[in-house]
Amino acid sequence: MDGQTAMKFLREMLKIRYFELKAAELFMQGLMAGNIHTCAGQEAAEVGACQALRETDFITSTHRGHGHCIAKGGQVDIMMAELFGKATGYCKGKGGSMHIVDVGLGILGANGIVGAGIPIATGSALASKIRGADEVTLAFFGDAASNQGSFHEALNMASAWKLPCVFVCENNKYGVSVCIDRVCNVEDIATRAVAYNIPGVVVDGNDVFEVYEAVKTAVERARSGEGPSLVECKTYRHRGHYEGDPQIYKTPEEVGYWKDRDPILRLRQKMTDANLATVVELDVLEAEVKAEIEAAVEFAKQSPYPAVDQVTMDVYANDNERSVIR
């Protein structure tokens, strides 16, 4: 670990943290409509995984997707505008929090359907293979998504055809209120890789470097044509499943345990311990990131709503008007 890399990783993680805390605050103030799922606490998994990718690689994301998008290079102002339902947002206000996409950055999309991104990532990998491109596609998904048929079917095909993809499970222990150990009889999701004869590894999902190293190995394997891997990151979401979730299913001990393992505080500590940065430098970095998020909020607030005639646009590529009217 060198200082520059550590700073880069930390900056991305902070960006996610402050984006999420800000979004939650605005949501609770009633400034955002709909529903948001924040990923505070899971930043190391998201940043560690995306840092192991090239800019030309792809990801699919989930309903809890803000962190994935930021980690893959998404712009926080355009993201924030989407959360506000503004015309300047990534999807012109049509998708909202759960549907951010930037194909140019390789972000094939967050998704409102649990498990849906996994076969889509596998299909993206198929496209790379057929075209002979050396891109890799990485699918992010939760512990609970690994109980969907889509997960098992996709892993089977990816393995059978040695597709260049990487499956990254962020195991935060819960699918909404349901603890994974009540609905799944393996201790580690990574064990499921055995069924598909692919590597399955478990990492400390709150250690950004551990995630980075594991995903890097998986990405190299995928790129060299040896097929997919499953990487499970053990982590925890600090906030509710959705904003406003009373979280009756969590125990104070568990919350405390994970608070002590906050991925951002851990990285900060590591960096100061190893003399890679001073506390002052880290505080400056934090202030810069906070300012960037504030600017994003300002951009979103100042942006216009989409004009109402946009409601019928973009349903089809051709013959849109007739197809919508009839």
Ligand X SMILES: Cc1ncc(C[n+]2csc(CCOP(=O)(O)OP(=O)(O)O)c2C)c(N)n1
Query: Which residues are at the interface with ligand X (CB under 6 A)?
Result: 63-64, 112-114, 141-145, 172, 174-176, 241
311 binds other proteins (CB under 8 A): yes
Query: Please, what is the minimum distance in Å from the beta carbon of residue 90 to ligand X?
Result: 20
Nearest-Å Rg of the Cα atoms of the chain is: 20
Query: Please, what is the minimum distance in Å from the beta carbon of residue 249 to other proteins?
Result: 6
Query: Please, what is the minimum distance in Å from the beta carbon of residue 122 to ligand X?
Result: 17
Nearer of residues 63 and 268 to ligand X, judged by Cβ: 63
- Which of 6, 69, 98, 125 touches other proteins by CB under 8 A? 98
Nearest to 106 by CA among 51, 50, 163, 57: 57
The backbone torsions φ and ψ at residue 95, rounded to the nearest 5 degrees and listed phi first, read -100, -45
The backbone torsions φ and ψ at residue 108, rounded to the nearest 5 degrees and listed phi first, read -80, -10
Handedness of CA 154, 158, 163, 168 (dihedral sign): positive
Per-residue interface string for the shown chain with other proteins, residues 177-206, x marking contact by CB under 8 A: xx---xxx----------------------
Q: Which does 191 bind (CB under 5 to 8 A by kind): ligand X, Mg ion, other proteins, none?
A: none
Judge whether 112 and 63 are in contact, CB under 8 Å: yes
Give the containing element (helix H, strand E) for 290.
helix 279-302
- Which of 43, 77, 135, 143 touches Mg ion by CB under 5 A? 143
Q: 3-28 vs 279-302: helix axis angle to the nearest 10?
A: 40
**161-180 residues near other proteins, rule: CB under 8 A:** 175-178
65 binds Mg ion (CB under 5 A): no
99 binds other proteins (CB under 8 A): yes
Nearer of residues 95 and 199 to other proteins, judged by Cβ: 95
Judge whether 150 and 113 are in contact, CB under 8 Å: no
Helices (H), ranges, 161-244: 180-183, 208-223
Nearest to 122 by CA among 152, 160, 164: 164
Nearest to 11 by CA among 215, 267, 214: 267
Nearer of residues 64 and 250 to ligand X, judged by Cβ: 64
Which residue's C-beta sits nearest to ligand X?
142
Q: Which does 248 bind (CB under 5 to 8 A by kind): other proteins, ligand X, Mg ion, none?
A: other proteins
38 binds Mg ion (CB under 5 A): no
Nearest to 174 by CA among 140, 146, 198: 146
How many angstroms separate the most distant Cα atoms in the chain? Answer: 67
Query: Please, what is the minimum distance in Å from the beta carbon of residue 41 to ligand X?
Result: 11
Judge whether 175 and 142 are in contact, CB under 8 Å: yes
Nearer of residues 279 and 324 to other proteins, judged by Cβ: 324
- The binding site for other proteins (CB under 8 A) comprises 33-35, 85-86, 91, 93-96, 98-99, 111-115, 144-145, 147-149, 175-178, 182-184, 248-249, 305-306, 308, 310-312, 315, 323-326
